Amino acid sequence: MAPVSINALPENILLELFLCLPARQLLLHCRPVCSLWRDLIDLGTLWKRKCLREGFITEDWAQPVADWKVFYFLCSLRRNLLHNPCAEENMESWQLDANQGSKWKVERLPGDHGTDFPDPKVKNYFVTSYGLCLKSQMVDLKAEGYWEELLDTFRPDIEVKDWFAARRDCGCTYRIQVQLVSADYITLASFEPPPMTIEQWNDAMWTEVSHTFSDYPPGVRYILFQHGGHDTQFWAGWYGPRVTNSSIVVSNKMTREPAPSTALSHKVEVKEAAQLPSPLNAQLG
């Protein structure tokens, strides 16, 4: 019996075979084989089924998706890109840009004159001192699996979140800045709200600050995240703002109009940008 070409199989059978293969193998090794395979692998129905298979969507999914292939890869890559966000590994992965006063320290929740964190899985926090304490991470998007075409053509939303709290018995000032940076370290977009000051004898509740970068310029290759602060009583020890559970997530959404920044829990309003000491030189040094 003469051998039969795999291309003689019905297209629906070929699609079933492609459904079982890893996504990157489909694009790198299968798609270039022939025009038939290319056309089948480019079908949105294949990638929608792969999304269902991986649990990225459910059968009753009703939201519009412009490109199911891109959506699949964004879902598969979606995770927190910040390392050690909850101080489980002491100060590992963080660049200390300012470490004044009694310096940065890691403490266990809820801490003295503190409150429990909303998520019981979070056990630790970083705490600042009476001198300015700032720490940062530079996220390399290409090293994290995001390729240039995905970033520049589709520009998926980038969601940033951070949590901070004060001690009840001491006031503090909290700072955050996040920059989207090009390959040659030019800032293309930034989130730099004014410093947020909490007065002494407060409720010590945790406050979430969030911002979504949307429709930003092409060319983003790095994300620079920096936060910290100091106490307002200038007491020796660790009485400044506490921070934990920070996150940077590249979303599967692709918004073409800028989304507003938000600050939840205590409804902190972001009204204007403030200048923070730039950690770019420290990251490049």
In DSSP notation, 1-58 reads -----GGGS-HHHHHHHHHTS-HHHIIIIITTS-HHHHHHHT-HHHHHHHHHHHTSS-
Please tell me the pTM assigned to this model.
Answer: 0.86
Is-contact 63 102, C-beta < 8 A?
A: no
User: What one-letter code names the amino acid at 7?
Assistant: N
Beta-strand pair 133-140/220-231: antiparallel
Is-contact 258 141, C-beta < 8 A?
A: no
User: How many other β-carbons are positioned within 10 Å of the β-carbon of residue 111?
Assistant: 17
Q: What is the pLDDT along the chain (285 residues), one digit of tens a residue?
A: 667 788 888 999 999 999 999 999 999 999 999 999 999 999 999 999 999 999 999 999 988 898 999 999 999 999 999 999 999 999 999 999 999 999 999 999 999 999 999 999 999 999 999 999 999 999 999 999 999 999 999 999 999 999 999 999 999 999 999 999 999 999 999 999 999 999 999 999 999 999 999 999 999 999 999 999 999 999 999 999 999 999 999 999 986 543 343 333 333 333 333 334 445 444 444
Q: What domains does the chain contain, in order, with CATH numbers?
A: 7-77 (1.20.1280.50), 95-284 (2.60.120.260)
- Measured CA to CA, the distance from residue 155 to residue 102 in angstroms comes to 41
* Cβ-based burial of 141 (10 A; exposed 0-12, middle 13-18, buried ≥19): buried
